[in-house]
Every structure is written in structure tokens, then in C-alpha cells.
Structure 1
């Protein structure tokens, strides 16, 4: 699993932002860093919806810090666009449909009793303009949300 001080694994994946476009982390670092990547197990589930809406509620604060927020899940970009629309999310959601990002960041988990494999653990990474992970939080319990104040403080430390 990647952690604070590591280089963030680069990736290219579909970005659901109302449309669907290509998102490459390395292409976004110079103009958008710090970047908050908030991994969540699945769209339209209770805790994931609460988490993404909490990031939306704080989006103005992150924007004031010149930070970009992105959610990341294994859902298809089409599902993620619907999830964005139904929840009024103004930030993009990255589709890790092929499970490459989750694997590269070392945060895949299984719900074998439900027959669900390889979804993202709930995790948040803050990445600076050089591609270094400056904050990492990962939960083995999908019912636990991140400390949003702590994430915001980690972004503020880079300002």
C-alpha cells in the first residue's frame, strides 16, 4: 500500500464530470495540485453517498485552497455520472472499472460473503504538485468515514 512520502502511482482512467473524458494524474499535477483522491467502495451505497456529499459540502473550502477533489471507485463512468447528478456533486469522479488504480495504490478489498471482489477500501490521499503523497488515510472498515477536517488541514499545509 502506498503511504505518505511515496510517489503517487500515475494512472489514466475515465473521468465522469457530466461528460466522460480521459483523466491522467500526471497531466493534472501542475495545474490542479494539491489533488485529493477520495476512494470509495461503490456509488449509491449509504456511507459512500454520505462521504461524497461531505466532500461536496466542503468543496468551496478546498477550492479556496486551490485544491482539486476527485472521487475514485470501481463503478463505470456512466454510473458515476448518474451518481454525480443525483447527489449534486460538482467534482469529477474517476472510474477504476478495470481495478488498476486500486491495485496500484494497494487498497483493494473483497466482500467474499457478498460475492464482491476487488473494490476500493475507503481511502484518501493528498498529492502535491511533484506527485508525492503528503497525506494518506486508509480504512479497513468501509463504514468509517475519513476525518474531513484532517484532510482539509493536510491540503492547507501545502498552501
Structure 2
């Protein structure tokens, strides 16, 4: 697993932000600290609660110059629908090829069809591309400690 002090794996994926753009982590380090909030699937109960909580607390992250991105394996068009339905005011990254969940070692397998989705996880990346905070949930219903994520963002600023 990617851990504190590691270089954050770089990646390029679709960004759902109302439209669909390309997002490359190394090109966005000026937005640091960057919070990458991995979640299993749009439109599911805990994932909706988590993303809406980040939405509601976004001002706290912006106060320290932080930028939040949700990350799931959903298609960008699904993620835009999810953003619209829940008035999410931050971008969602589509890991439709499952490259990020592999690189960050946060793969969860949903049986019986062995569907690979993201474990619920949060990483904070500073302006140098270094991971300064890493958390991976023990089960899909476990939410991150939002205050701890905020404090890690403050520390990385």
C-alpha cells in the first residue's frame, strides 16, 4: 500500500467536473494539498454520505488551500450524474481502467462476480507529490475520520 512519505503514484484519468476533462496528478500539484478520497461506487449509501460530507466540509479544506477529489471506478458520465444529483462542488476522478486502485493498492473485490472496486481510502498529497496522510477502511461501510483528514491537509499546506 502507498504510505506516508512515499511518492504518490502519478496518473492520468478522466475528471468529471460537469464536463469531462483529463486530470494528471503531477500537473495539479499546484492545487496541493490534494485529498484523494477513494470510494467504491456512486449512488450507494455510504459513498453518498461520504461524498456529501466532503461537500459540506469543503470550505474547511479550501481555507488551507486544499483540493478534494473523489475517486471511483465509475464511468465519468455516471460520476457527473452523481455530482449533479448531490450538488457536489468538487471533481470526481474516474478510474474506469482500475489503474489507480491497483497503484494505490486499494482494490476491493465484490463477490460473487469478482468485481474490482476501490476500498474506501483517503490519501493527502503535498505540493512535492509526497503522500502525507494515508488511511484505508477496514470495511466498505467505514467512513474516514473527516477531522483527521482536515488536520492532515492543514499539516501538508
TM-score (norm 1): 0.97
- Give distance in 2, aligned partners of 1:86 and 1:109: 26
- Give distance in 2, aligned partners of 1:35 and 1:28: 8
Gapped regions of structure 1 (runs ≥ 5): none
Match of 2:89 in 1: 90
User: Is 1:2 the counterpart of 2:7 in the alignment?
Assistant: no
**Aligned runs of 1:6-85 on 2, under 5 Å?**
6-29=6-29, 31-85=30-84
- Give distance in 2, aligned partners of 1:121 and 1:91: 20
- Give distance in 2, aligned partners of 1:79 and 1:158: 31
Q: Is the 8 A contact 2:34 2:125 kept in 1?
A: yes
Residue aligned with 1:58, SS: helix
- Give distance in 2, aligned partners of 1:74 and 1:158: 27
Q: Deviation at 1:116?
A: 4.5
- Give distance in 1, aligned partners of 2:28 and 2:35: 12
TM-score (norm 2): 0.98
Gapped regions of structure 2 (runs ≥ 5): none
User: Is 1:150 the counterpart of 2:148 in the alignment?
Assistant: yes
Alignment coverage as a number of residue pairs: 157
Q: What is the RMSD of the two structures over their aligned residues, measured on CA atoms?
A: 0.7
- Give distance in 2, aligned partners of 1:70 and 1:150: 17
- Give distance in 1, aligned partners of 2:57 and 2:138: 24
Report Cα offsets for 1:88-141 as digits up to 9, x if no partner. 00100000000001101011010113x242100000000000100000000130
Q: Is the 8 A contact 2:125 2:156 kept in 1?
A: no
Residue aligned with 1:109, SS: strand
- Give distance in 1, aligned partners of 2:37 and 2:97: 17
